[in-house]
Amino acid sequence: MSIRRLPEHLVNRIAAGEVVERPASALKEIVENALDAGATRIAIRLSNGGLDRIEVSDDGCGMDSADMALALERHATSKLPDDAIENVATLGFRGEALPSIASVARLSIDSRPRGADGWNRTVDNGRLVAEGPAALPPGTRVTVEELFGKVPARRKFLRSAKAEYAACLDIVRRLAMAHPSVAFSVEHDGRRVLGVQGDEAREDRVAALTDRQLADNHVIVSLERDGVRLSGVASLPTYNRGVGDHQYLFVNGRPVKDRLLIGALRGAYADMLARDRHPVVALFLDVPPLDVDVNVHPAKTEVRFRDPAMIRGMIVSGLRRALDAEGFRAVQQADAAGLAAWRPEPMSPTPIGAMPIFEAAASSPASYSQFAPASFADRRPSFLAPPPQARAEPAAAPAPEGHSFPLGVARGQVARTYIVAEAEDGLVIVDQHAAHERLTLERMRRAMEGQENGNRVASQALLLPEVVELDEPACDRLEARAAELKDFGLDLERFGPSAMLVRAVPAMLGQSDVQGLVTDLADDLAAYDSALSLKERLDLVAATMACHGSVRAGRVLSVAEMNALLREMEVTPRSGQCNHGRPTWVKLGHGDIEKLFGRK
């Protein structure tokens, strides 16, 4: 078969296949053109998920009739003033979007520059069908109808109207995040579904487009290194989602999807999130044009960095610094379902011995008779149980005031698991195991950092070495990592084919469950060893050890122990969540308490 030139209409359809995959692709190209035209307001109208109609109106610079005709030709663009494509600073620059869309749909453009008359040009599947004057405000209106209507082979591969609408909305959200100075509105089948005002702060725009609660549960990321600037918004670890769909990366104002972000987020949030939970993140990278290639993908959704390791390190460092600066902070949004569970109920007789026990930490002993009427004992029905038992401790000094400390002062212990503290602005409840687990991990990390300066993690030799029986592959994995584990103070050696001999454990773990610790370490290495880097593997080992060395639920704590735990939490980074991403403390504000009693 001889070589031949393809006809123009077929060339345009091939280009459309690269640039225009679905309604969302066409919408993205048109909105990017509006942004490059300097628009401050962009209004979008969709019909049937964009399958039937897409309309984008903006107040940008507009085009005259000559520019409009040129814009519908392939490889014609106003966005490259010279041939230096590596210095491109606009969102679109290929000059393929409009002619590609016009080759597979009915495309109508109405535009008017300021101080001039408006003009219309309509192309139906590659054929010019109308042209003439148009009445409209300064700016441009682009309408796309019946996308792939005359290309049934492409049309049948499109998804349902709902799925296409969701993709269109996601595109608008990303572009709106990247340009908080521009107002966006979206209507779908006559119903307004999105609206944001211009000149918003970046964190407010991100919260408005993801979840309003993010406005109260985020950290600001800011870092600059070697001419690269990283900024953005990241959620607290305790504010997370079950899927990773709320993670956004922007490079020089361009929304991109890059696997680099996923790996960097995993490294930044390691040991602060469970592996099936994901943070809400919007990060913005400003990179010198020569250090990033934006001409990798026809739809410009991917980029290639000259130094990807440096970019990943910046993302991890920037997020870590921002999260560390928040200290013990955690999500403190009152849960509606939890508040609803508090309700007044009628008192009913309780059998003797069935009364709950509240471990009270009082500043001075007090008996129940102090608060009961003198004649109460005579009037008390015989079927009622005795007063509930409680533990009271005499204090060597008066209890400190709650306003002196962010997490308040301990007032009691519930179910031998939760510390109840009084703060200036409400009631604080702390999960003692989760909190101490985080504190132990941070101590272990500091000890590992001290190792770099010649110090060693202190270990406690066992009086009698303990034998832990495991299967042979588990023993092989532990033996291979024995040197790394010894750096943490865990000294173990092979003891036959299916057992490990433990000679010493980290001193900071105290009287830990050696059997459970070694077993869990073997399981973790089996699950994640090959998939993690050395740094991530060491963090995993430290987290597992910290879990075994922390104060367990069910242990009765003294008042001094409770307050010591609260004070250490206040000065320890990331103490607002445990090593698995669960919150270590929650607060019931005075306003919430007043609601429970109908005062508000």
Instruction: Pull the structure tokens for residue 597.
Output: 């009693």
Instruction: Tell me if 123 sits within 8 A of 106, measured CB to CB.
Output: yes
Question: Is the pLDDT confidence value at 353 over 60?
Answer: no
Q: Could you tell me what percent of the chain has a pLDDT over 90?
A: 25
β-pairing, 491-494 with 499-506?
Answer: antiparallel
In tens, the pLDDT along 305-350 reads: 888 888 888 888 899 888 888 766 665 554 555 556 666 655 555 4
pLDDT digits (tens, 9 = 90+) for 392-428: 555 555 555 555 788 889 888 888 889 999 888 889 8
**Per-residue pLDDT, 352:** 45
Mean pLDDT rounded to a whole number for the chain: 79
pLDDT for position 375:
43
Residue recorded with tokens 């500091």: 446
pLDDT, residue 273, reads 77
3-state helix, strand, coil in the chain (%, to 5): 35, 25, 40
Distance separating alpha carbons of residues 39 and 137, to the nearest angstrom: 13
* Mean pLDDT, range 370-383, rounded to an integer: 43
Give the per-residue pLDDT at 373.
42
For residue range 522-547, list pLDDT tens digits in order: 887 776 665 455 455 556 667 777 77
> 286 by DSSP, 3-state: which?
strand
Which one is predicted more confidently, 6 or 439? 439
User: Who wins on pLDDT, 234 or 398?
Assistant: 234
Quick: pLDDT tens for 59-84: 999 999 988 988 888 766 665 555 55
Cα(421)–Cα(570) distance, rounded to whole angstroms?
13
Give the model confidence (pLDDT) of 268-299 as tens digits.
Answer: 887 777 666 788 899 999 988 878 776 555 55
Which residue in the block uniquely carries the two structure tokens 């209004």?
43
Strand partners, 55: 45, 143
Q: If pLDDT is split at 50, 70 and 90, which confidence band does 126 have?
A: confident
How far is residue 493's CA from residue 486's CA, in Å, rounded to a whole number?
Answer: 10
Q: How far apart are the first and last CA of the chain?
A: 84
pLDDT band, residue 150 (cuts 50/70/90): confident
The first and second tokens of residue 149, run together, are 């209507």
Candidates 158, 167, 207; CA nearest to 188 is: 167
Confidence (pLDDT) at 372: 42
Q: What is the pLDDT of residues 476-511, one digit of tens each?
A: 889 988 888 888 788 999 999 889 999 998 887 766
Burial of 302 (0-12, 13-18, 19+ CB in 10 A): middle
- Among 2-11, 152-161, 216-225, 417-426, the range scoring the smallest mean pLDDT is 2-11
